Amino acid sequence: MITVDEHFFEELDEDCPRNVALLHDPLLNKGTAFTAVERDVLHLRGLLPPRQLTQDLQERRILQNFDLIPDDLHKYTYLMALEDRNEALFYRVVIDHLETMMPIIYTPTVGRACQEFGQIFQRPRGLYISTEDQGEMDEVLANWPHEDVRVIVVTDGERILGLGDLGANGMGIPVGKISLYTACGGIDPATTLPITLDVGTNNEELLNNPLYLGLQQRRLTGEAYDAFVEEFVTAVTHRFPNALLQFEDFGNHNAFRLLRKYRHRIRTFNDDIQGTAAVALAGLYSAMRVTGGQLKGQTFLFLGAGEAGVGIADLIVSAMMEEGLTEAEARQKCWFVDSRGLVVKSRANLAEHKLPYAHDHAPAATFLEAVEMLQPTGIIGVSGQPQMFTQPVIEMMARFNERPIIFALSNPTDNSECTAEQAYQWTDGQAIFASGSPFDPVQYDGQTFVPGQGNNAYIFPGVGLGVVATNARHVTDEMFMAAAKALAELVDQNDLDQGRIYPPLSDIRQVSAVIATAVAEVAYAQNLAAVSRPANLLQFMQEAMYEPTYREYVLSE
């Protein structure tokens, strides 16, 4: 319920009549759902068609129009336009039809939206902070109209999905992640903020494109880049002291060191490193229920040695240590192939983040050669390179393993290391498969397989909810371990029988509440929570979740 008094209109846009400004505010606007009484109170009579439509009827109209749009990119722009004018209705549609809407508002369609960002740009969302704002970031952040920001997703656009450097066009990623924080994790959209740090781009096509919306200059690097990020982080902590800051799609050379630099100073995490790790580990825990094995008995070969792969391996090592291995023994179970072949100790000039996984072994020039040498029980693709899990690779995995684990996690769909159909066909239906972007169910040998989607949306919204609800001071690795275990425990036997190693996406809000509860347990155990522990943590999380229902406007007495 919203009380309307003489102060109600003070925060609305003063550049247009205040009743019209209400219709232009997506957090307050209800469109044709305003009642006759509200139209009188708010001076809206005549500004809307006379018939009142409930939110249910509005949703029906949105879905009918959505179904008429043949192209996914135009469906994306249609939904973004809805979010720009009526956030409650947008989230009602997304939550009620998540399995249909998530591939549109996030992967895989968001990748194309970022590539076409200058063409489809309609209305700004979030904040753009560029090198031109250096020295004045406090003032830029002060321009954001909402003071109680609890979740910020920030990118510098250098490594967008598997698409590379998209500069300021990468804003589609924080916008999409913020939408999932609300739709999947129940974070109030009024407390969220997507941010792009425009430090330039090295993408020649963008530098030469007159419609590119970012700075047409080369990327800031070295000490100048670090000073820019430091000013940004400092400004955020001053302006939004209760905010969780999520780093997203930074280049490998910056992602690891920024996480190390800030993780013990502010409440922050890197979803590409830690969120990806948790969702992958959850899938592996589910896979162990299928194979009957233990994690410590597995050997994993990664294709791609960037932040996602190393993040997954680090969490796997922690999980194997829980099962009794030493750190050295656990690391020996994880191997990497990068663009130069198998990562081994004898190789020169290895990046720092690869060194813990550079083992004493003969080199291997190709992924197929490495599979033949190491005979892993699972292969995990995080390379961004499509079709690298070739038929010989997958068939060889099936020769070594009764139930080979095939995780093709690169996004968007076109960058997947193999398709679900290929994984099932080339293993005679024995693969335990997961992908980063969605694949349709596969019919093979009279059986229907429902591929698991190892999407970070299973993890980061719940982690965010747990951190925000407890106002935890830091985000720890133990929280992601707890999130992975909680997610795996929500997979039932019916899911496993269908080949699915994650719960249905339609259950994501309940999944997020359970994960938030597990994260909160860690926050209280580590004395990181800033609010008193409630009697029923799960109920506390469920009650904290935003519901996209319209509020009543009433006159004050």
511: tokens are 């999944």
DSSP 167: G
Residue 120 structure tokens: 């489809």
Burial class (CB in 10 A: 0-12, 13-18, 19+), 339: exposed
Other Cβ atoms within 10 Å of 51 Cβ, number:
7
Our answer to whether residue 225 is catalytic in this structure is no
73 and 115 Cβ atoms separated by less than 8 Å:
no
Q: The dihedral of CA 289, 294, 298, 304: what is its sign?
A: positive
Structure tokens at 9: 């209109």
* DSSP assignment letter at 270: E
> If we measure between CA atoms, which residue out of 174, 421, 404, 130 comes closest to residue 290?
404
How do 192-198 and 127-130 pair as beta strands? Answer: parallel
**C-alpha to C-alpha distances, 207 to 127, 164, 199, 216, 446, nearest whole angstrom:** 21, 14, 13, 5, 52
Distance from C-alpha of 253 to C-alpha of 52, rounded to nearest angstrom = 54
Nearest Cα neighbor of 522 from 461, 481, 492, 465 is 481
* CA angle in degrees (0–180, nearest 5) for 13-16-21: 55
Tokens of 369: 């050669």
Selecting among 76, 91, 106, 546, the annotated active-site residue is 106
Amino acid at 410: S
DSSP-assigned letter for residue 413: G
The structure tokens 């008193």 sit at: 532
Number of H helices, E strands in the chain: 24, 16
Tokens of 258: 């920024």
Q: Is residue 493 packed enough to be buried (19+ CB in 10 Å), middle (13-18) or exposed (0-12)?
A: exposed
Catalytic hit among 30, 76, 91, 177: 177
Give the dihedral sign, CA 492/494/497/499.
negative
Q: Which two tokens stand for residue 528?
A: 């990181």
Q: Which letter does DSSP use for residue 107 in this model?
A: T
Backbone angles phi, psi at 304, to 5 degrees: 110, 125
- Please say if 296 is a catalytic residue: no
Q: Are 422 and 470 in contact (CB under 8 A)?
A: no
Which segments of 92-174 are extended strands (E)? 127-130, 151-155
Catalytic residues: 106, 177
